[in-house]
């Protein structure tokens, strides 16, 4: 079946450093979403990318969707302690369907 | 308004018992999804509904698992004859419409089978 892998599994940074997580799907995706899950919390939607090569920014967060629509990345500039959590990408493998396949997640820890 | 709610928040049951997990989506949300999340892993799709129609149940692990949403609002995920391997966080999410929309997750039900 379809797999969505994320690297790294875990990253520990000092506050102010940048952070990037990469998401790779075994199959082409019609769109990709990103979610953040704080420790003990539930996934919270961050953004959705639909077009090949799309780039979106939210303040310090930059999201990219690959040209082949099989990979994506999330980059955080100048991390803050509030960025702590696990970041999941989630892909919709078939246009018109709603099943989301979540990635394996990247856990981010930020030290002050 | 209120978010997605789930009940119970915690459920401890003995192996072999049946359990019913409830999800109350955001009012007016057409689509409702069930996921299972193991510790340290991403949510694993189980099934979803548009209104009262179950559209995809390909993620249900076996026939002990079933779900319903009879009136297109509240949904129940039922696990019959529970086994220890069923222990996990069960999450419900809802979205305003059909794909592709952001999903709003509930707090989850932590199920422990002893």
> Please, what is the average pLDDT of chain B?
95
Q: Cα distance from B37 to chain A (closest Cα, Å)? A: 10
pLDDT bracket for residue B91 (50, 70, 90) = very high
What residues pair up with A99 in beta bridges, in sequence order? none
pLDDT of residue B1: 57
How many contacts does A have with B, using Cβ atoms within 8 A?
A: 64
Interface test with A, best of B99, B106, B107 (most A CBs within 10 A): B99
Q: Cα distance from A62 to chain B (closest Cα, Å)? A: 18
By the CB < 8 Å criterion, does B108 face chain A? yes
Tokens 């009940």 found at: B7
| Cβ pair A67, A53 in contact under 8 A | yes
pLDDT of residue B15: 98
Complete DSSP assignment for A6-48 = EE-SEEEEETT--EEEEEEESS--SEEEEEEE-TTS--EEEEE
By the CB < 8 Å criterion, does B49 face chain A? no
- pLDDT of A93 > 90? The answer is no
B35-75 pLDDT tens trace: 999 998 999 999 999 999 999 999 999 999 999 999 999 99
- pLDDT of B12 > 60? The answer is yes
A47-80 pLDDT tens trace: 999 999 999 999 999 999 999 999 999 999 999 9
A1-38 pLDDT tens trace: 678 999 999 999 999 999 999 999 999 999 999 999 99
pLDDT of residue B100: 77
pLDDT of residue A96: 53
* SS3 assignment, position A6: strand
Length of chain B: 114
Interface test with A, best of B43, B58, B88 (most A CBs within 10 A): B43
CB nearest A43 (choices: B43, B55, B56): B43
pLDDT of residue B76: 98
Q: Cα distance from B71 to chain A (closest Cα, Å)? A: 20
By the CB < 8 Å criterion, does B99 face chain A? yes
pLDDT of residue B13: 98
pLDDT of residue A75: 98
pLDDT of residue A98: 81
Query: If you average pLDDT over residues B77-90, what whole number do you get?
Result: 98
Higher pLDDT, A97 or B69: B69
pLDDT bracket for residue A99 (50, 70, 90) = confident
Chain B hits for A107, CB-CB cut-off 8 Å, are 40
The separation between the first and the last C-alpha atoms of chain A, rounded to the nearest angstrom, is 41
Please indicate whether, in this complex, the C-beta atoms of B43 and A102 are within 8 angstroms of each other.
yes
Q: Cα distance from B91 to chain A (closest Cα, Å)? A: 8
- Of A88-97, B56-65, B92-101, the poorest mean pLDDT is in A88-97
The separation between the first and the last C-alpha atoms of chain B, rounded to the nearest angstrom, is 37
Which residue from A minimizes the CA distance to B41?
A104
């Amino acid at each position: 079946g379809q797999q969505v892998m994320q690297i790294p599994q875990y990253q520990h940074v000092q506050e102010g450093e940048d952070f990037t997580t990469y998401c790779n799907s075994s199959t082409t995706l019609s769109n990709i979403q990103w979610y953040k899950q704080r420790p003990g919390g539930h996934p919270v939607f961050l953004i959705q990318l639909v077009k090949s090569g799309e780039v979106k920014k939210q303040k310090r967060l930059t999201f990219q969707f690959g040209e082949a629509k099989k990979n994506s990345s999330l980059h955080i500039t100048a991390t803050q302690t509030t960025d702590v959590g696990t970041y999941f990408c989630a892909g919709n493998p078939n246009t018109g369907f709603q099943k989301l396949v979540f990635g394996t997640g990247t856990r981010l820890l930020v030290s002050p | 308004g209120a978010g997605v709610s789930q009940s119970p928040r915690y459920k401890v049951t003995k192996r072999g018992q049946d359990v019913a997990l409830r999800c109350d989506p955001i009012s007016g949300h057409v689509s409702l999804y069930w996921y299972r999340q193991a510790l340290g892993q991403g949510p694993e799709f189980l099934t979803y509904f548009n209104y009262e129609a179950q559209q995809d149940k390909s993620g249900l692990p076996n026939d002990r698992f079933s779900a319903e949403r009879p009136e297109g609002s509240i949904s129940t995920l039922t696990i019959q004859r529970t086994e220890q391997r069923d222990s996990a966080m069960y999450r419900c999410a809802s979205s305003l419409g059909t794909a592709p929309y952001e999903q709003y997750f509930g707090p989850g039900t932590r199920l422990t089978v002893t």
